[in-house]
Amino acid sequence: MKSRRAARRDEACKPPAWVRLKAMNKLALAIATWFGCGYSPWAPGTVGSAGGVLVGWLLVRYAGWPPWTLAVLAAVLTPVGVWAAGRTADLVGKKDPGLVVVDEVLGQWIALAALAAWSWPWALAAFALFRLFDIVKPWPVWKLERLPGGTGIVVDDLGAGVYAFVTLRVLQLAAGWFNLK
């Protein structure tokens, strides 16, 4: 039997829990939290959306991607996001943990895809509209949360992104009609 002192020493020498996680769990956590955005102590969803805007801006500005390609990227990465969100929810033991923000990133990219060309006023409008629809969850978006596992975590935010996309396009058309561009 170990002494208390030896037991405390052994406990102190143990690597933290995140180090003991399997590699696939670490990868799922990295993706689900959007490389740490989900660990924000305040408004992790908003921070995750801002992370999505930042990556979107980098891809449009420096990689030369047209904004519509962000919707394609969101579609391609959705299965990865569903997997990461579901695995992280299982690890944390919650149905939709707040630290999972990959869903916000994917939904935000759909909203940003509505931009004809990148401009910060319209990008901020896309950000605000996405956050509004993500929080309010209009019909039928709120029903999508009921889907099981990572699918329910991610798909409702994709729906909020679609609402933001359509609203932003209507606003852009109206601005063009009234010469408000």
pTM across the whole model? 0.84
Q: How do residues 12-24 score in pLDDT, each as one tens digit?
A: 445 556 556 788 8
pLDDT at 16: 55
> Which candidate, 161, 43, 24, 145, places its Cα nearest to that of 99?
43
Q: What is the pLDDT of residue 115?
A: 94
Top-confidence residue, 180 or 83: 83
* DSSP code at position 97: -
Domain definitions of the chain by residue range: 4-177
pLDDT at 13: 47
Note the pLDDT of residue 109. 98
pLDDT band at 108 (very low <50, low <70, confident <90, very high): very high
Residues 6+ apart with CB under 8 A from 58: none
DSSP label at residue 37: G
Interatomic CA distance for residues 125 and 131, integer angstroms: 10
Block residue for tokens 């932003």: 168
Model pLDDT for residues 18-69, shown as the tens digit of each residue: 556 788 889 999 999 999 999 999 999 999 999 999 999 999 999 999 999 9
Q: 48 or 5, which is more confident?
A: 48
The pair of structure tokens assigned to 56 is 């979107």
pLDDT at residue 104 is higher than 50: yes
Contacts for 120-123: CB closer than 8 Å, 24+ residues apart: 122/168, 122/172, 123/53, 123/56, 123/57
